Amino acid sequence: MVGVTEFLSNTTTPKIAALLLGKQLRLATPTGILTAWITETEAYLGATDAGAHAFKNHQTARNQALWQPAGTIYIYQMRTQFLLNLVTQSAGVPECVLIRGIEPVEGVAQMQRNRPVPLANLTTGPGKLMQALGLDKTLNGTPLSSTTLDLRLTPARNPQQIATSPRIGIVNKGDWSTAPLRYYVAGNPFVSQVKKRDQDLAQHGWQATII
């Protein structure tokens, strides 16, 4: 069976961003376990990527986690929001995937206590999902772990269709502003900026079988 570290370091970051769709995030909290399917991601390609924090190998105390091994959690703050990233390559290669959207599974009531909004708006964006999970920067620079935040490769969902688009909020970065490095489950309602007419309310864009 492929382990998480091998899964995150055995191929390119864009491919990992696509493969993460349908995998499960699992968070252990004092009040119980929270789980969710990953529905939306963005790939950031390190030193060559003008939209990435590590562009031109720019290294600071803030982004130090990017230079750690695959499976390291990279959380940064943007204004009042925290954003969750997973480092995807070997130590010294500062590439990562931003988790932009998740579909809640276990612990929905706790997520809504953390972020008291209707379910439809609970986790449809990277800052929203962190509020729902109750996460701040505490786990930044730590490895994925079953005792804190983990990535589960099984069980998993298979998207019926993976859609791509430019990353959100990457402007004035030349070709990197239009590069199709955002991946999401087509039809899933737990995706940022998804229009109601494009939502698959019956299957949420998943194939029927959980694997």
How much is the pLDDT for 112? 98
**Predicted confidence band at 122 (pLDDT cuts at 50, 70, 90)?**
very high
Cα gap 18→68, rounded to integer Å? 22
Question: Given a cut of 90, is residue 143 above it in pLDDT?
Answer: yes
The mean per-residue pLDDT over the stretch 188-202 comes to 94
Q: Which two tokens stand for residue 152?
A: 């589960």
How much is the pLDDT for 148? 97
Computed over every residue of the chain, the mean pLDDT equals: 96
The mean per-residue pLDDT over the stretch 60-83 comes to 96
How much is the pLDDT for 3? 85
DSSP class per residue in the chain: ---HHHHHHSS-HHHHHHHTTT-EEEEEETTEEEEEEEEEEEEE-GGG-TTSTTGGG---STTGGGGSPTTBEEEEEETTEEEEEEE-SSTT---EEEEEEEEE-S-HHHHHHHS-S-GGGSSSSHHHHHHHHT--STTTTPBP-TTSEEEE-SS-EEES-EEEEPPTT--S-GGGGT---EEEETT-SSSTT--GGG--TTTTTEEEEE-
Cα gap 104→117, rounded to integer Å? 13
Share above pLDDT 90 across residues of the chain, in percent, rounded to a whole number? 95
Nearest-CA neighbor of 182 among 27, 6, 13, 35?
13
How much is the pLDDT for 99? 98
Question: Given a cut of 70, is residue 187 above it in pLDDT?
Answer: yes
Question: Given a cut of 70, is residue 196 above it in pLDDT?
Answer: yes
Cα gap 126→145, rounded to integer Å? 20
Q: Which residues contact residue 142 at a Cβ distance below 8 angstroms, ignoring those fewer than 6 apart? A: 72, 73, 148
0.75 exceeded by the pTM? yes
How much is the pLDDT for 92? 97
Q: How far is CA 175 from the centre of its chain?
A: 23
Question: Given a cut of 90, is residue 111 above it in pLDDT?
Answer: yes
The mean per-residue pLDDT over the stretch 204-210 comes to 96
Question: Given a cut of 60, is residue 61 above it in pLDDT?
Answer: yes
CA 145, 98, 22, 17 torsion-angle sign: negative
Backbone angles phi, psi at 143, to 5 degrees: -80, 155
Cα gap 9→94, rounded to integer Å? 12
**Predicted confidence band at 9 (pLDDT cuts at 50, 70, 90)?**
confident
8 beta partners: none
Q: Which two tokens stand for residue 86?
A: 């997973």
The mean per-residue pLDDT over the stretch 86-102 comes to 98
How much is the pLDDT for 1? 56
